[in-house]
Each structure stands twice: as C-alpha cells, then as structure tokens.
Amino acid sequence: MRLFTLLSIILSCFYCTAQEVDEKLCAKIEVRVDKFDGDTTYTTPYKPGYMDLIHFVKTNGITFMSLKAYGSTLNVGKEGVIILLADGTKIEKPEAKIDADVNTSTSGGWDYSAFVRLDDSDIEKLTKSTVTDFRLYIYDSKVLPKKAALYQQYLKCLVLR
C-alpha cells in the first residue's frame, strides 16, 4: 500500500512539472486590446517564411492554430488538416480550408496555410504531446523537435490566459 501511495505522489509531481510553463516565453506573447470593443487577442511569436511553421492566436477565449507548408504545384479551394503528435495520436480537421499564395522567398512554388480552431480536446492533446508533422491537403511539413517543444510551451502559456 505504501509503495502505491509513493508511486502516486511521484507520478502526480511529474504531471505537475510537465504542466509548468516557462514564464520567459509567456512574456514574449503579444497582447493586443481592441480600442473599440475591448477584446483582447494573444498571439504567440513567429517569424515569417519557414522559420516558424506554427503559431497560435487566442481571442475571446477561442484558440486557433496557424499552420504553414510549402508545395511546388498549385491547388486552390482544398481542405483538410492532419496533425501528428509524438505520442502517436493525431488531430484531424477534414473541413479546414487551405489557403494558397505565391511563395516569394524561394525559387517559386506555393505557400499553403490553414487557420484552425482548436477545441478543448485538441488543446489537451497539444499540451501533452508535441507536434511531429502535419499535412495541409497533400502538403506535408516536418516539425523539428526543438521547435515543437517551443510551440507546445507557447500553447501552455495561452491556456493560462
């Protein structure tokens, strides 16, 4: 019985530590208050181009995830986002609209992006496991582990706001 209690305490402490956020990263989140209606919007930092494939926005209590991929062929009016997580689970948004734009930073091709609303289940998955890859329609992007951990920390910061 004592062993079970000790293991429970250790596991609960591990869970608490895993949920902690890095306050230095949280301080980097941009906060904007609309001067007309007082709504507050939180945006995680990101660099344009392909430096950051993911960022999050929270406004009016709703959290959105922005994803960006590259493709060499043009596809317009397509839908479908699949996000793979390190723990083997996935988040699917089959009706998410994919936007296409000319890629001006490389030797041509197309930038594909999606802006998807996250529900509580999605947020729980993303705060417990990092993103490894995602697909926008047929265009795949791999997320480097270091970047994935950073994105996860930013989302944890948004959960607290």
- Per residue of the chain (161 residues), what is the pLDDT tens digit? 443 333 333 333 333 334 577 788 899 999 999 999 999 999 998 887 656 789 999 998 999 999 999 998 999 999 999 999 999 999 999 999 999 999 887 677 899 999 999 999 999 999 999 999 999 999 999 999 999 999 999 999 999 88
Q: What is the reported pLDDT for 135? A: 96
- Count how many residues are written for the chain: 161
Tell me how far apart the alpha carbons of residues 69 and 141 are, in angstroms, rounded to a whole number: 6
Cβ 84 vs Cβ 133: under 8 Å = yes
pTM: 0.81
Q: Spell out a b/e string for 94-123, using b for 16 or more CB atoms within 10 Å of the CB, else e.
A: eebbbebeebeeeeeebbbebebebeeebb
What pLDDT shows up at residue 50?
Answer: 59
What CATH number belongs to 2-159? 2.60.40
CA distance 71 to 54: 16
- Tell me which residue of 138, 120, 127, 43 sits closest to 82, measured CA to CA: 138
